Amino acid sequence: MEIKVLKNVMIKNNLKAVDNRNQFLKHKILSLNLVSSPGAGKTTLLENTLELLHNKYVVSVIEGDLYTSRDAERLARFNIPLVQINTEGGCHLDARMIGGALEEISLKQMDIVFIENVGNLVCPASFDLGEEARVLVYSITEGDDKPKKYETMFKTADVVIINKVDLSTACNVDISKVEEEIKGINSKCVVFKISALNKNSLTEWVAWLEGKVERIKKS
Amino acid sequence: MHEASVAQYTFEVLTEVINSDDRIKGKKIKKIIFALGRPNTVMPSSFEFYFTELVKGTILEGIPFEYEDSLEEGFFVSSVEVDD
């Protein structure tokens, strides 16, 4: 006899993501899940974003990494709450890991929680962490053909940051074509074009963050 | 690689179902049917590797499973076949 069950196996992750989201909402925290392929510039973006924001807001970072704490070490100089998650080879962060990390952070008075996911343009797309927004960092050095190839990640992103735009000529990549590809997949996402090494190029991104924080605090 | 997590979640969902669904509880399970939705982001061969390892020594060890297609997005425990 066949018994119909029909249960999505991701419900386990998704229920925990709801818990995490409720915690962020309760404490009026802007939570961002930073995703990208390895080397696209998530940590550099975080470093220079923190340079601009950490004196204005209470910020913490949850660092996802396979085995090392190299990224967390780069951020240690900001003296902010930092939680390292080593996935021991796992290719993504999941909502349970984030739930555990949140127990180590005092959420009272917190304004922003950045979650730096494992560098991978495939697997993290399937795992809701409970974040307010998914921020995809895409390096121009990856070419103009990848958005279509890694469509799920682009479809699920709220923000796409095109990074290393100063290298577009050297890499023979047309920035406007990349943006067109992204918008063709996800017309609703917000797009910023930056060079993460250059703090002056982060103005619009930082203004977006500030606007989000203020809106959440007033909600 | 994320199939390792999917296998873990699947194991937990199945264990819950087997222990709580009166139609299944206490009966011999003959087969499990998974539904592969569109898209599902699960590679069956990779899932099978992790799932088979994970269920060793549990009530689910050795139970055959198969797949059916689904138009819904995601990966599902679709049905469980039990002795009448």
Which ipTM score applies to this complex? 0.92
Determine the pLDDT at residue B84.
80
Domain boundaries, chain A: 11-218
Residue type, B5: S
How far apart are the C-alpha atoms of B81 and A91, rounded to whole Å? 33
* Cβ pair B54, B17 in contact under 8 A: no
Judging contacts by C-beta atoms under 8 Å, the chain B residues touching residue A94 are 5
Q: How far is CA A106 from CA A85, A112, A119, in A?
A: 17, 12, 26
Determine the pLDDT at residue A54.
92
Question: pLDDT 10s per residue in chain A (219 long)?
Answer: 999 999 999 999 999 999 999 999 999 999 999 999 999 999 999 999 999 999 999 999 999 999 999 999 999 999 999 999 999 999 999 999 999 999 999 999 999 999 999 999 999 999 999 999 999 999 999 999 999 999 999 999 999 999 999 999 999 999 999 999 999 999 999 999 999 999 999 999 999 999 999 999 999
Does the distance separating the beta carbons of A6 and B76 come in below 8 Å? yes
How far apart are the C-alpha atoms of A206 and A48, rounded to whole Å? 10
Number of structural domains, chain B? Answer: 1
- In terms of residue numbers, what domain contains B61? 3-82
Strand arrangement of the beta sheet that strand A59-65 belongs to: A82-86, A59-65, A112-116, A30-35, A133-139, A159-163, A190-193
Determine the pLDDT at residue A9.
94
Does the distance separating the beta carbons of B74 and A8 come in below 8 Å? yes
* Closest alpha carbon within chain A to B40: A126
Nearest to B21 among A3, A9, A126 (CB): A3
Determine the pLDDT at residue A62.
98
Written as six digits, the tokens of A114 are 């950045």
Nearest to A152 among B4, B41, B81 (CB): B41
Q: How far is CA B4 from CA A55, A202, B11, B48, in A?
A: 40, 37, 11, 9
* Closest alpha carbon within chain A to B37: A8
Which band of pLDDT confidence, cut at 50, 70 and 90, is reported for residue B41?
Answer: confident
C-alpha count within 13 angstroms, C-beta hemisphere, residue A123? 19
Tell me how close the Cα of B66 comes to any Cα of chain A, in angstroms.
13
Q: With 90 as the cut, is the pLDDT of residue B39 above it?
A: no
Written as six digits, the tokens of A26 are 């309760």
How far apart are the C-alpha atoms of B43 and B36, rounded to whole Å? 10
Q: What's the CATH number for A11-218?
A: 3.40.50.300
User: Residue B66: which CATH number?
Assistant: 3.30.2320.50
Determine the pLDDT at residue A189.
98
Across chain A, the runs of DSSP E, i.e. the strands, are: 2-8, 30-35, 59-65, 82-86, 112-116, 133-139, 159-163, 190-193
